[in-house]
Amino acid sequence: MSESTTANPILHLPRLPESNGAPAPVAAAVGSGANPYLEMDLLRFSTAGSVDDGKSTLIGRLLYDTKSIFEDQLEAIEGTSRKRGEGYVNLALLTDGLRAEREQNITIDVAYRYFATPKRKFIIADTPGHIQYTRNMVTGASTAELAIVLVDARKGVLTQSKRHGFLASLLGIPHMVVAVNKMDLVGYSQDVYNRIVADYTLFAQKLEVKDLIFIPISALHGDNIVNHSERMPWYDGATLLHHLENVKIGADLNLVDFRYPVQYVIRPHQDFRGFAGRVVSGTITPGEEVVVLPSGQGSRVRSVERFDGAVEEASPLDSVVLTLEDEIDVSRGDMIVRRMNLPTVGNRFDAILCWMNETPLDVRTPYVMMHTTRCVKAFVSNLVYRIDVDTLHREQVETFGLNDIGRVEMTAAQPIFFDGYQRNQATGSFVLIDPHGHVTVAAGIIRGEVRTADELFKDEEAERAPAATAVSPDVVWEEWNVAREEREARNGHRAAVLWFTGLSGAGKSTIARELERALFAAGCQTMLLDGDQLRHGLCGDLGFGEADRRENIRRVGEVARLFFQQGGLVLCTFVSPFPEDRERVRALLPEGSFFEIYVRCSLEECMRRDPKGLYAKAVAGKIESFTGVSSPYEPPEHSEIIVDTDRESVDTIVESILAELDRAGILPQAAGA
């Protein structure tokens, strides 16, 4: 059978080449005498979106275009498509496995599919779009490293699109692709695509998404799935398959904290006693000191065994058998860890819970909690709040119903050994099982230990001014040689820090430059600290991750305080996306001397302006952790001054800021006259 001569009579797609009944990639590997697939890495990803956004069609297209379906499977869906009079091969039938799904053209259960390319192996979880199947989406995405959220180009960003993005963020999935599907039904319009990108990017600012990209596609016709679409020449980013093949995975594995939940004790004879399990994080080598929890007994690793013999090291996800130097008591449910790197051991913890059962949560019921290989009774001791996944608002409730998600405090009958979910997903997750019906009723992720009100208050106090109390050792504070009040008297105006915050492209620098010119002309002592300038010097060693952004603002705050003490008006223009960082700078200064100026502008307008071309690069995935696209911006709630650059001119804004500073008694009398 020839690929070039035998065509599909319905869709006019080429038939798959014959390969003894096996999909082409598998047949090629088997025929070569070696199996390169054993050496390739594996990407697990999930698909989600609103109802009828084309999830199953997309997966069917990926399976078809990568020649990962059998000949008889293709013939079966061709026949079904003919009977239904669809006029084309419905590739969604490849994943719609339940009869109810095929009859309704929807996905109900989670469907898992496997395919491979010469670069990588893949496992797909096709999850439902209906709101009543949110729990299925949580199940399908729980082991995913990448999430594809489909958005129908005709409908735009719907509630379910946001819901699935929130769940992916909640589950800590490091990579997210928003696939704008059905572009063929909107004439492959770039404007439609740009509006959806802007809408979803605005929503994603509220989420903790490390890597977010957008791809316009047509799953039905294959546009931008495997090959670039000639009908969308305006899109120059990666195709979906290219991104799936090249996205970096494994970097999020925890290679530091060794955690080994024991699944089974192996004793084939009296001379061998080993402990079988899977390394869920960290690495281990023979000779290392370990501790067994909960007993706390210590020993050394004698050997690390696999099915084919001893190995020198075990890494995350390796299934191995450990033997120890000492005869100590170890049972299923225990955990072997390094002596100097222990998890939290306790029976009370703070968690986010997704309720997955039609019977509501009962705080009086002792549920069975499965955590790693440990099984204990546990209560939901406190319902802190429920999360409205549409608005992300918190609600006070008495119970959780089906698909509800919220924060709870758990109390277990016996201690468990856990880490926070963001640090270690394996030891930071659990499920609850009904003790009577033996069905899974909830899935949870652990935030950390339950803290008392006093502990929370101390944490909040420490966060208010950590930079003000951090000093180098053996350094004694010296008072200023010339007091700020003396400098203010000579300058004829008060000192202040004017902190401009807002999205990139909102107009912070433009306004600050014009304002400084006006202040300088009025005889004020000024200093303008701009983000780009400090990034070329003082902060040139910092990146754009969350920790580096915080350190950048800390340094800027200290520099601003020095110029403030000189009696000047210090204008600082920084995106500064996190309110706690801005408040730390405020805490460095006397009350009434810090003016937060929120330069407000819609994300759509900022992206349209894009003065430095950064948004275009960020949307294309060329810039990581870009505020507004792949990193969140948290706008101020109580700024001293708010200006709107998409509605007001620069001159008008400068005049309004001068008026506010005059009312606050900052400016010289002549400037305010």
The answer to whether 184 and 221 have CB atoms below 8 angstroms apart is yes
What is the extent of the structural domain holding 145?
A: 41-66+109-246
> In 10 A of CB 72, how many CB atoms?
8
329 and 438 assigned to the same domain: no
* Among 48, 66, 14, 107, residue whose Cα is nearest residue 239: 66
- Per-residue pLDDT for 397 more than 60? yes
Same domain, 268 and 391: no
Same domain assignment for residues 325 and 350: no
Please check whether residue 506 lies inside any domain of the structure. yes
pTM, two decimal places: 0.56
- For residues 268 and 131, membership in a common domain is answered with no
Is 331 a domain residue?
Answer: yes
Residue 470 lies in a domain: no
Distance in angstroms (rounded) separating the CA atoms of residues 521 and 519: 5
User: 124 with 45: CB under 8 angstroms?
Assistant: yes
Q: What is the 3-state secondary structure (H, E, C) of 461-513?
A: HHHHCHHHHCCCCCCCCCCCCCCHHHHHHHHCCCCEEEEEECCCCCCHHHHHH
The helix-helix angle for 453-464 and 579-587 (nearest 10°) equals: 70
In a domain, 406, yes or no: yes
Residue at which a domain ends, from 316, 338, 360: 338
Residues 124, 147 within the same domain: yes
The CA distance from 146 to 137, in Å, is 13
β partners of residue 410? 349, 380
DSSP string of 372-428, one letter each residue: TTEEEEEEEEEEEEEEETTTTEEE--S---TT-EEEEEEEEEEEEEE--TTT-TTTT
Q: How do residues 442-499 score in pLDDT, each as one tens digit?
A: 888 898 888 654 444 444 444 444 444 455 555 555 667 888 888 988 899 999 999 9
Q: Do 369 and 237 belong together in one domain? A: no
Same domain, 331 and 348: no
Minimum mean pLDDT range among 3-17, 29-43, 243-257, 417-431: 3-17
Looking at the DSSP assignment, which residues form a beta bridge with residue 211?
Answer: 175
Cα–Cα distance measured from residue 335 to residue 297, given in angstroms and rounded to the nearest whole number: 11
- Is the alpha carbon torsion for 455, 456, 461, 467 positive or negative? positive
Last residue of a domain, one of 246, 276, 310: 246
**pLDDT given at position 479:** 66
Residue 389 has pLDDT above 80, yes or no: no
CATH code for the domain in which residue 589 is found = 3.40.50.300
Of 242, 250, 225, 240, which Cα lies nearest the Cα of 42? 250
Which pLDDT value is given to residue 457?
45
Domain shared by 325 and 367, yes or no: no
* Catalytic sites, residue numbers: 576
Q: If we measure between CA atoms, which residue out of 580, 357, 364, 350 comes closest to residue 459?
A: 580
Q: Give the tens place of pLDDT for each residue, 580-623.
A: 888 889 988 988 899 999 999 888 888 888 888 888 887 777 77
Residues 6+ apart with CB under 8 A from 143: 44, 125
Find the length of the chain.
Answer: 673
Element (H, E) at 547: helix 546-565
Task: Compute the distance between CA of residue 628 and CA of residue 201 in angstroms, rounded to an integer.
Answer: 6
Place of tokens 């996905």: 107
d(CA 227, CA 425): 35
Using CA atoms, how far apart are residues 427 and 343, in angstroms rounded to an integer? 9
117 C-beta neighbours (distance < 10 Å), count: 18
Q: Is residue 92 part of a domain?
A: no
The chain-wide mean pLDDT, for the chain, equals 80
Same domain, 242 and 157: yes
The string of pLDDT tens digits covering residues 320-351 is: 999 999 989 999 999 999 988 889 888 899 99
Q: Is residue 192 part of a domain?
A: yes
540 and 444 inside one domain: no
- Token pair 């072997």 is at which residue? 336
Tokens of 268: 């084939």
Q: Does a structural domain hold residue 103?
A: no
Measure the CA–CA gap between 314 and 561, rounded to whole angstroms.
Answer: 51
Residue where a domain stops, chosen among 180, 213, 246: 246
187 plus 148 within the same structural domain: yes
The gap from C-alpha 340 to its chain's centroid, in whole angstroms, comes to 30
- What type of residue sits at position 31? G
CA-to-CA separations, 141 to 82, 332, 343, in angstroms, rounded: 33, 27, 25
515 and 539 in a common domain: yes
Contact 255, 284 (CB under 8 A): no
With residue 273 as reference, give the H or E element that holds it: strand 272-278
Please check the confidence at residue 159 and state whether its pLDDT lies above 50: yes
- Output the domain CATH number for residue 362: 2.40.30.10
pLDDT in tens, 627-664: 877 778 888 878 889 999 988 899 999 999 999 999 88
CA angle, residues 216, 217, 219, in degrees to nearest 5: 160
Q: How many domains does the chain have?
A: 4
State the pLDDT at residue 300.
94
Within a domain: residue 33? no
